Amino acid sequence: MSAIHLAGTAHTGDLELEVGLSVEPGETVALLGPNGAGKTSLLRVLTGLLPLSSGHLNLSNHATDIPEAGVFVEPHRRPIGWVPQDRLLFPHLTVRQNVGFSPRSTPERVGQLLESLSISDLAAKRPDECSGGQAQRVALARAIAAEPEILLLDEPSAALDIDSKHLINSLLEDHGDRATLLVTHDPVEAATMADRIVILENGRVTQSGNLADVRTRPLTRYAASLAGLNTIAARATGNTATTEDGVVVVLGEPASGPVQLVVPPVAVALHRSAPDGSPRNVWEATVTELQPAFDRVRVVLTGPLPIVAEVTPASVDALSLAPGVTVWAAVKATEISAHPA
């Protein structure tokens, strides 16, 4: 019995969603895709805010939206907890009242969630007295307090500090039989939190599988870009992070503790001599392999930071790149993101 079983079509603006998707009880699925792919619209279909134009949707083995049969279950009757991007907290209620808004919540459960997300001291405050990270924790607590069978999360970690991410991730790991669909732009978040990755492009699912499947057999250019991300284990202190080999990396934003540094291959600039200008992270490296990747070339480098760059075929020719060639690699601090390890 699937917690979510969707095979249908919906329309929003110029986008046509035509999606087949199943999520099992206890499973966490990460939904990734480029901007405008329809990820948030898909969540709106599941919540009932965007009705299907054809097909069917079953939630927890109950018919929820079948246009041809005249079946449509109102959003408030669906077994769903939803955390939208803009959180939609009730401004006139306190934090405690927001978290306990659902009639299915209990004072005991509300207290547990406030404590586990370190927002007990905010219980009597209004949402406008909370920081962005605190408000995100309140929104998540409100969704979970209702004991939903299905949890929908739309970019839950966007713009959060590392401490908030740790707290939210820890809470989501204890999900029991609850099915979770996580919309994220962050493949590291998807890899660390999800059992399966689903890629949505132009309103359609283009790939579904675990991270290994996507990395070894990407089916689209977007999937290939996810597969090639550089990840580097390090320990952060402020605006620097030190790798296990003792290499210091400058960060664009402060972080602390064990982290995974993520560097998109397209952010690694290659030069034949030491570059001038703004990059804060520059090192000498040796090309070990050139890998064709759709309309780009992945350049595998060894050096202080073993890393992969992605360039155009024209750049390969202009730089005379080949195995054994020495180059200078540069990455701007703002291009490196640090995620809690």
Each residue's pLDDT tens digit, 189-224: 787 788 999 999 999 999 999 876 776 677 787 887
Tokens of 321: 């790149």
**CB-based contacts of 175, cutoff 8 Å, min separation 6:** 26, 28, 151
Pick the CATH number of 231-340 from 3.40.50.2300, 3.30.70.580, 2.40.50.100, 3.40.50.1390: 2.40.50.100
For 276, how many CA atoms within 13 A lie in the half-sphere containing its CB?
Answer: 0
Where along the chain do its domains lie? 4-227, 231-340
Query: What CA–CA distances, in Å, run from 140 to 31, 78, 212?
Result: 18, 17, 29
Tally helices (H) and strands (E) across the chain. Answer: 9, 19
3-class state of residue 276 by DSSP: coil
pTM for the structure as a whole = 0.72
**pLDDT tens, the chain, 341 aa long:** 799 999 999 999 999 999 999 999 999 999 999 989 999 999 999 999 999 999 999 999 999 999 999 999 999 999 999 999 888 999 999 999 999 999 999 999 999 999 999 999 999 999 999 988 889 899 999 999 999 999 999 988 776 666 777 777 777 877 789 999 999 887 777 877 889 999 999 999 999 998 767 766 777 878 877 767 787 889 999 999 999 999 999 998 898 998 888 888 889 999 999 887 666 799 999 999 998 877 789 898 999 998 989 999 999 999 999 999 999 999 999 989 887 76
Partners of residue 283 on adjacent β-strands: 329
| CA torsion, ordered 190, 191, 196, 197, to nearest 10 deg | 50
Tell me how far apart the alpha carbons of residues 322 and 299 are, in angstroms, rounded to a whole number.
9
Nearest one of 249, 84, 247, 236 to 163, comparing CA atoms:
236
Reduce the DSSP state of residue 61 to 3 states and report it. Answer: coil
Asked, colleague to colleague, whether 4-227 and 231-340 share their fold, the answer is: no
Q: How far apart are the first and last CA of the chain?
A: 34
Helix axes of 132-145 and 107-116: crossing angle, nearest 10 degrees: 150
The amino acid occupying position 6 is L
In the structure encoding, which two tokens stand for residue 9, read together?
């079509």
Q: Is the dihedral of CA 149, 184, 192, 141 positive or negative?
A: negative
Which CATH fold topology does 4-227 show? Rossmann fold (3.40.50)
Which pLDDT value is given to residue 226? 75
Contact 48, 63 (CB under 8 A): no
